Chains A and B, each alone.
Chain A
């Protein structure tokens, strides 16, 4: 980031949420960079930025789409980069139609699928091309990605930005000019985002829009460019790489799905097609190495490396789907590990009510967090919805060891794997997760040791013999060695792998997470490398280890031009050394090291060998950065603006209000407010957006129990504009009650000029800021109502993350009712709005012809309604 010339921070309050990381933004500024902050709130990030632009929460695709349009129409895009390094020249199949043609939908929408079939989004074939894909290098073909992109974003104009995002045309011009000036051969722009982009029902598409923009402007794979995901937990990156996530196996290998991946061959055919380019071609070696790491000698060529030992998915089994299963008594036991869903997950009331349906749960933490005490102190005990004496759930609180009391690695937000040495041993009964689960596994195996049931074979056959110290703590380095991978046979048996290219399909290698291969190369714990920063260059390659292969900037071949020369001296990173005939530079080149820049792939060659010299995006099946995504996105190949669920604004971009493929959970307790234009929408006329504070961490388990942090930030509050405060008579330090269809919470009022109403869709929209760190209980030093109790569960269909940043609400002065009266209060609002379980649950805004997907009775798009100063009835 320090090398950027423009930093656009959008969907993040980096200065407050990642204060120490923000020093690199400051550093960039000192080197002359410009910083622009786009956010619904004015924060400390805005205060030190060159400019803050207030945006209406949830309208990010309109703004970014307008930047794309501006760059194309004014010929400001990076031509050499786009023509050769992206799929701009690729031609899309004849059957493709976009929102311009289909009133807001892409071709392939199927209401029964609750989303899209992507058959028509594919590339047109060209049997003469080496890679089989039809292209037009002039980018003029009407079905070329570039022309489709141009048409798709043509309606994303500065006027649309003003109307939908509430941003003036002057501010838009400032942003567009800065972006264009700082995206050239000599200059690069970096985009940083955080939960302000992910926590939307179209979060993945927000990020895709920024990727399209960065590719179009040639900012990917270059120093000071790229897209920075600012993540909020010490190893939230690591827990995605080595996933405690249902849909993945380590290293982003898909978790097998019944009916699709029934045999190992099915799994390979579907996941790693062998007639395509790139490193996923070798997915079979990564998968077989994983199975060898898990099941050792029981995984043989004859039994397909025990592939049948893995359970199968039959749909989404994410945390919110699991919650719904709890209500059906479909889940007996629940482990909660260093997380506080009673406060931190969407729809807090349903989270707690769900736990009351469990037979047992295990909470592993440092303190008695609200997830451990809801049965005694939770809000539903106070409201009378639950009675302690009637809750059957058994709860085990198992004290956990903290970061000083165990050794191991965290992977931070730039993929850097950092080792922590153990400083002390844990106190009392406290144990690490490593010891707890190793011990639990041993106990399960002891109980099953005489079993002849085939279903117990995976547990009995898995490799589980990790060396332990005198306290019973397994050796984390031994686990790391297994993750890194090692040879299983031959003269090198037991020797750690140096990199993932050494992984084989014949069972001669094992490796628990292919992208981490190399972290233990040569038997050296590279995550523990600690050459001080001031004793090495800016890339700091001798401080810890970044996956993959200690690369610090991904796809860095794109930092050089077609001939392999840096785009400019100023932005030099890796380049082709003619004499040595290999790629060299300041970073580990992210490209086959000896593949010349002018190398051309040949027909009939696949995998990494098929990468041409101008295919920098080596994980993609065509080696190109995808402006248009023929696959991988469930809700469309190009990001398209739809309104968030229950938005008070009508979508004037298309006659389709909300994303037709958003994931809905229809249930009592998860009702939605009526969207704009529907009766009852005026009952919840405002929008709240949740956020974090510097002094607290997520749901407070690691901060509200600490005296210093509790004193610094003691009480739940809401941020409101002076205009909204005047409308409702809200006073600073007084109380306000915020109401959604899911619940009502109270908060201290902070009236501030940092919040400004925005004009959008012809209405004045008031945005309310709510930190979400507080929860109701008796154990924390500070307690308060939880903002997440207001959230519903409407999910992004790609990643199943809930919408938390643009949610409908009402506000009134004073404290909320107590006891049973609170339930009645929330119901009364719902009744007034006429809400049923089915409100907001139809995916299509208008009825359509099932064949053509055309709107049966086209609506007359009326002028936006004007509700100046909406008030509660």
Chain B
């Protein structure tokens, strides 16, 4: 540590540089001068919406090399005026946290652990099981003999955290397949 010097005393520096509020030259340093926001290197900034609650705060997503490097509030939004709550402010971690599961996992009947399987294989297995379950619990008529044309073998839960366009395809596909037990968080 350097020896104490009156010249380094903050009040002295502030008075000498006529920096009345201590927010000007008296608090600047080479380190400060060279600091750059990480958003400066972004290739792109896109407008988005916070994925947590239903206030619908605007987000700006900063991207570099196909990676999200920063997320902040969008000051243009008339709803949020640039603000985010702790969850919205933490949403960069939602994207980049190391524990995020990026590969398909499969747990066989009675197995004690996961195994990794190929995405293609998993999709085929799910499609096969979908048709089998549909068949197993197909109902042409109800107890009164009225046509119902449905299957009770498949159910789905979820929709409040995903997009309108996605909910639309889910409802359309399941209804066309005869599956009626489609639900989401709005019921809870």
Contact = CB atoms under 8 A, between A and B. Distances in A.
A and B physically associate:
yes
A337 B165 contact: no
B176 to A, nearest CB: 4
A698 B102 contact: no
Interface stretch (B2-10, B11-19, B24-32, B55-63): B55-63
Nearest to B171: A244
Contact of B51 (A241, A346, A375, A702): A702
Contact of B54 (A236, A364, A434, A702): A236
B44 interface: yes
B181 A422 contact: no
5 contacts: A236-B185, A366-B94, A367-B99, A461-B176, A513-B168
Contacts of B165: 408-409, 434, 476, 479-480, 483
A399 B171 CA distance: 21
Contacts of B142: 258-259, 312, 314
Which of B55, B61, B94, B106 has the largest count of A CB atoms less than 10 A from its CB?
Answer: B55
Nearest to A364: B158
Given A332-B153, A513-B168, A695-B86, A233 B144 contact: no
A420 B61 CA distance: 10
A182 interface: no
Contact of A404 (B61, B108, B111, B138): B61
Given A332-B136, A334-B156, 8 more contacts: A262-B146, A317-B180, A360-B129, A402-B95, A412-B54, A459-B176, A533-B77, A705-B100
A763 to B, nearest CB: 30
A800 interface: yes
B146 A235 contact: no
A73 B170 CA distance: 51
Given A258-B142, A335-B157, A410 B119 contact: no
A740 interface: no
A694 B87 contact: yes
Interface residues of B, number: 117
B26 to A, nearest CB: 33
Interface stretch (A274-282, A388-396, A745-753): A388-396
Interface in B102-156: 102-114, 119, 122-133, 136-138, 140, 142, 144, 146-156
A444 B125 CA distance: 11
Given A245-B187, A341-B157, A458-B176, A434 B166 contact: yes
A294 B148 CA distance: 19
A596 interface: no
A234 B44 contact: no
B169 A395 contact: no
A239 B188 contact: no
A246 B176 contact: no
Interface in A512-566: 512-513, 516, 530, 532-534, 536, 540, 543
A235 B169 contact: no
Contacts of A444: 127, 130-131, 173, 177
A808 to B, nearest CB: 20
Interface stretch (A14-22, A143-151, A213-221, A492-500): A14-22
A402 B92 CA distance: 11
Contact of B157 (A233, A334, A402): A334
A310 B180 CA distance: 9
Contacts of B39: none
B102 A332 contact: no
B146 A399 contact: no
Interface in B38-94: 44, 46-58, 61, 63, 66-68, 71, 75-81, 83-91, 93-94
Contacts of A698: 185
B148 A258 contact: yes
Contacts of A412: 49, 54-56, 79
Nearest to B88: A20
A685 interface: no
Contacts, number: 469
Interface string A345-387: 1100000000000011010111110001001100000000000
A313 interface: yes
Contact of B49 (A259, A399, A418, A437): A418
Q: Which 8 A-B pairs have the closest CB atoms?
A: A337-B158, A412-B56, A533-B78, A408-B163, A428-B102, A244-B159, A311-B150, A332-B133
Given A236-B54, A242-B168, A421-B46, A406 B163 contact: yes
A635 B158 CA distance: 28
Contacts of B182: 243-246
Nearest to B165: A479
Nearest to A430: B102
A311 B175 contact: yes
A334 B155 contact: yes
Given A362-B126, A441-B169, A702 B104 contact: no
Contacts of B148: 258, 311-312, 314
Contacts of A848: none
Interface string A328-342: 001111111111010
Interface of B: 44, 46-58, 61, 63, 66-68, 71, 75-81, 83-91, 93-95, 97, 99-114, 119, 122-133, 136-138, 140, 142, 144, 146-173, 175-188
A416 interface: yes
A429 interface: yes
Contact of A244 (B102, B107, B144, B183): B183
B184 A245 contact: yes
A714 interface: no
B105 to A, nearest CB: 4
A262 B127 contact: no
Interface stretch (A318-326, A819-827, A850-858): A318-326
A405 B144 CA distance: 48
Interface string A203-241: 000000000000000000000000000111111111111
Nearest to A239: B159
A23 interface: yes
A289 interface: no
A586 interface: no
A712 interface: yes
Contact of A338 (B75, B109, B127, B162): B162
Contacts of B63: 423-424
A312 B150 contact: yes
Contacts of A534: 76
A424 B66 contact: yes
A458 B183 contact: no
Which of B54, B104, B148, B181 has the largest count of A CB atoms less than 10 A from its CB?
Answer: B54
A419 B48 CA distance: 7
A501 to B, nearest CB: 22
Contacts of A368: 101, 105
Contact of A333 (B83, B103, B104, B130): B130
A344 interface: yes
A396 B127 CA distance: 12
Contact of A433 (B94, B119, B162, B176): B162
A165 B22 CA distance: 55
Contacts of A532: 75-76, 78
A708 B46 CA distance: 24
B157 to A, nearest CB: 5
Contacts of A230: 54
A654 B145 CA distance: 42
Nearest to B122: A396
B164 A238 contact: yes
Given A237-B54, A317-B180, A437-B166, A706 B126 contact: no
Given A313-B180, A331-B152, A389-B112, A339 B168 contact: no
A394 B106 contact: yes
Which of A238, A388, A434, A479 has the largest count of B CB atoms less than 10 A from its CB?
Answer: A238
